[in-house]
Amino acid sequence: MDLDLATCLFSGLQTDCLQDKQDVCEESRFTTMNVQKLFAKEVIAFVRCKELRVLPNPFDISDDYFKNIFRLDKWLFQDFLLVLCLRTYYRPELDNNRMPFDLRVLTTLTYLAHGHFGALQNLDAFRSYAESILQRCVPEVCQIIVHFLATDYIVFPSNYEETLHIKHGFNSRYGIPHVVGVMDCFHVRLSKVAATQKQDFKCKHGNLAINVQVVCDNKYRFLNVNPRVPGGSSDIFVWKHSHIYDIMKNLFVTAPAWLIDVFSS
């Protein structure tokens, strides 16, 4: 990210404090190392600027422990938090939630990583919050991520030119030509479904679930995620009713284009 641009856009962050930092600029751009040191404190301070309480700092744990709980290292999390604030035009004075935004994001990352909030029990920053408060964080933050970030970071190639780099990657690394992605489906369990819909969501293992289809490129980056199909549907049904199915047919008209699948049904 161009942090000069980010600083200008992010009016809540004080740019005055940057003017006396003679070592942070290199050809009018911030270097990666100094950006980490500079923005780490700035973005957290901005998010918590209206807090009258002195809150424990979730970063007061080892780097390895932090990454094990939240799956992101400390610098990557702060970059992620900055992007969320920029994209949503976040203003702390308009945020009425008693839990700071940075803690809500960390809570969500924990749940996505572990499926529960148990990992937060030993952290001082989260001990004052009931589980009901933690639970409300997840849909809020997930909706923000999907609405503001997903369309920029999860993009399936839609024309011949966009597939060339991916095809080259698969061919050079694995020796497989014309491949634009690897696809799979997997079941994600649901805790509750309306009684009238249970049969649709009951998967072949007898659990209530959704059948999620994902496509990754040669660098393991998601190109497509489709979580909209009940678990009672087969992988082939999910594939043939996804918009990727039509895109692949159109791509094949121009040049060979394949998805490697690992369907079990």
Do 135 and 186 lie in a common domain? Answer: no
pLDDT, tens digit, for every residue of 34-45?
544 455 567 888
Do 225 and 255 lie in a common domain? Answer: yes
Strand spans (E) along the chain: 25-26, 29-30, 179-189, 209-216, 222-230, 258-261
CA distances from 238 to 82, 126, 154, 165, 184 (A): 35, 39, 18, 27, 10
Do 195 and 100 lie in a common domain? Answer: no
Q: Which two tokens stand for residue 251?
A: 């791509």
> What pLDDT is stored for residue 44 in this prediction?
80
Q: How far apart are CA 50 and CA 91, in angstroms?
A: 10
pLDDT, tens digit, for every residue of 174-190?
999 999 999 999 999 99
Domain count, the chain: 2
Q: Quickly state the pLDDT bin for 234 (edges 50, 70, 90).
A: very high
pLDDT, tens digit, for every residue of 73-112?
998 898 899 889 988 989 888 999 989 999 999 999 999 9
Do 233 and 109 lie in a common domain? Answer: no
- Its pTM stands at 0.75
Do 122 and 164 lie in a common domain? Answer: no
26-40, 166-180, 240-254 — which is least confidently predicted? 26-40
Do 101 and 60 lie in a common domain? Answer: yes
Q: Quickly state the pLDDT bin for 48 (edges 50, 70, 90).
A: confident
Do 164 and 121 lie in a common domain? Answer: no
Do 102 and 229 lie in a common domain? Answer: no
Task: Calculate the average pLDDT of the chain.
Answer: 84
Q: How far apart are the first and last CA of the chain?
A: 42
Q: Quickly state the pLDDT bin for 10 (edges 50, 70, 90).
A: very low
Do 169 and 197 lie in a common domain? Answer: yes
Do 134 and 236 lie in a common domain? Answer: no
Domain that holds residue 33: 3-152
Do 148 and 196 lie in a common domain? Answer: no
Segment 210-234 shows an average pLDDT of 95
